[in-house]
A = this chain, B = another copy of it.
Amino acid sequence: MAVHHDMHAPVHDCADCPIRHRAVCARCETDELIKLEQIKYYRSYQAGQTLIWSGDRMDFVASVVTGIATLTQTMEDGRRQMVGLLLPSDFVGRPGRAVAAYDVTATTDLVMCCFRKKPFEELMSSTPHIAQRLLEMTLDELDAAREWMLLLGRKTAREKIASLLAIIARRDASLKLKAPKGAIVFDLPLTREEMADYLGLTLETVSRQISALRKDGIIELEGKRHVVVRNFDALMEETGDDSDGGFLV
């Protein structure tokens, strides 16, 4: 998720927000931020906990401070598809909608910064640039969703796995000190089953393809979750994406 703060650069963190969240910290010391401060509150959740069930009333909107959450849809017979991955600074909830459309689950311990919906909406209508910021974020998410549609509809299992690893690797690389000279190293934040739900596969296929990428020397594994990518270009070759930009997430 490329962070766009261009319109109000430089951005810095709120006093008591460990992570700046895009929807909130347009520019500290503005009136609207003060108002946001007045209506915000924090909530913590444990790994595995489902914060919101599809169909629940939603009386707040929120942004992720630390941890990872997922959005999933479930069919009557239990088939599940993950439709969103929420990383720190991502926004959940929809102004103008009363009922949640997806299950929201914490895959790691999670801290959310919440705003009661009513005051948030009032603030939104009185301070135009919040809507513009949200629009920009939503358009980014839409691009990511469409990239994901290509993956789900047309990529092979191996390409799906490579794509997911590349996304996680890239994100981790950008979070840490930039330009990792050598190997990219990261921990998978998802179980095999969650990866399967994300990719439209079964957990067995996920496991097999990860093993295959390991055997082919594309990645190295230490334990089940810790991944080393020595040659990022080789991994990108496996994704099926054209060499350059590609993923917007």
Contact = CB atoms under 8 A, between A and B. Distances in A.
A167 interface: no
A142 interface: yes
A29 interface: no
A135 B141 CA distance: 12
Contact of A73 (B77, B146, B199): B146
B200 A101 contact: no
A207 interface: no
A79 B154 contact: yes
A192 to B, nearest CB: 16
Interface of A: 71, 73, 75-77, 79-81, 83-84, 94-97, 101-102, 124-125, 128, 131-132, 134-136, 138-139, 141-143, 145-150, 152-154, 199-200, 240-242, 248
Given A96-B136, A101-B146, A145-B145, 19 more contacts: A73-B146, A73-B149, A75-B154, A75-B241, A76-B240, A79-B154, A81-B153, A83-B149, A95-B135, A97-B139, A101-B248, A102-B146, A135-B138, A141-B142, A148-B149, A152-B152, A152-B153, A153-B200, A154-B200
